Amino acid sequence: MKNEFDRRAFMRISAMSIGAGALLQFSPLAGTARGNAMSRLFHKQNGEGPGSFSIVQLSDTHVGFQGPPDPLGTKAFERAVDVINGLDPQPDLILFTGDLTHDSDDPAEHAKRFKTFRSISDRLRVKKRMYVPGEHDAALDGGVLFRENFGEAHYSFDHRGAHFVALDNVSLGKPIVGDDQIAWLKKDLARFPKTAPIVVFTHRPLFDLKPDWEWFTADGDAVMNVLAPYDNVTVLYGHIHRENHHTTGHAQHHAARSLIFAFPDPSAAEKKPLPFNPQQPFKNLGIRTVSGNTAARPFVAGINDVELSIRELSGSEGIQQLLKQGESL
């Protein structure tokens, strides 16, 4: 019982999302008895003590996609990189939650798209970057290209007292995590107390958000059953190209926006990308800020959206600044 602590009394969170995701800021309530106890615990469990840190989540950049819903290709992704590079202080960790690239039937072309993705993401000043694949990255080749570029598709690590778990729910072709990975997850979590802060990042939602639109993971319930005993679970995901917040048990699920185009609200009759608006080229690909109150619920907080668009890039004249010479809409 000595190891037990109340995370609500310990962590303070505020979050900001950049088109594709959330900048989550965690701060320990230093000086409190519980905070100090937790600090000792994580130092013992993880080899590092907890401290304040911030995360940016990016998702669904679809490098290589070029089409009517977004004629600007990688421009929103590049703009997000610039915005993140301008943050002061810099986040110390960036999570990419899949569909980094848009697939191609030609493996050489797909490999080229991975290379382009890396050339853009390498402009980020933050060097600690973690990735999981989306189906567009890994479902056609079983994750071969993804692993060549980024290593394993599921793994875990500790950071400042939180345990991060990367889950792959696309590489088997079907929207599943699979029995082997679920067994690995159970074993991976076994060393942690039930109150440990756990951040899962993955591509598809781990609950049935809208199965008809493929917004689900077939064995998501089995994954959440493994996570169910843990009191402080945050799931960050992408795939649905829009912001979404959902609670299952003790887990808070947060969807990140895309950096290519947005899908409509799941209550809509049809899953059809929202049309490109030349007057607001990054509409629905903006920045989200979230501030939290740990006295209530640390991971669910007030949300503020700020569009990624800036005045200089709006309107038909602004669009021309984003297009390469000779390009047209």
**Residues forming the site for another protein (CB under 8 A):** 102-105, 135-136, 139-140, 170, 173-175, 208, 211-212, 214, 218, 271
Name the minimum Å distance from CB 212 to another protein: 5
- The residue among 99 and 231 lying less far from another protein, judged by its C-beta, is 99
Closest separation in Å from C-beta 165 to another protein: 23
Q: Among residues 211 and 302, whose Cβ is nearest to another protein?
A: 211
**102 or 163, CB closer to another protein?**
102
Residue number with CB closer to another protein (108 or 190)? 108
- In the complex with another protein, which residue's Cβ is closer, 21 or 143? 143
Shortest spacing between CB 135 and another protein, in angstroms: 4
Shortest reach from residue 23's CB to another protein, in Å: 29
* Rounded Cα distance, 75 and 38, in Å: 43
Q: How far is the CB of 322 from another protein (least distance, A)?
A: 24
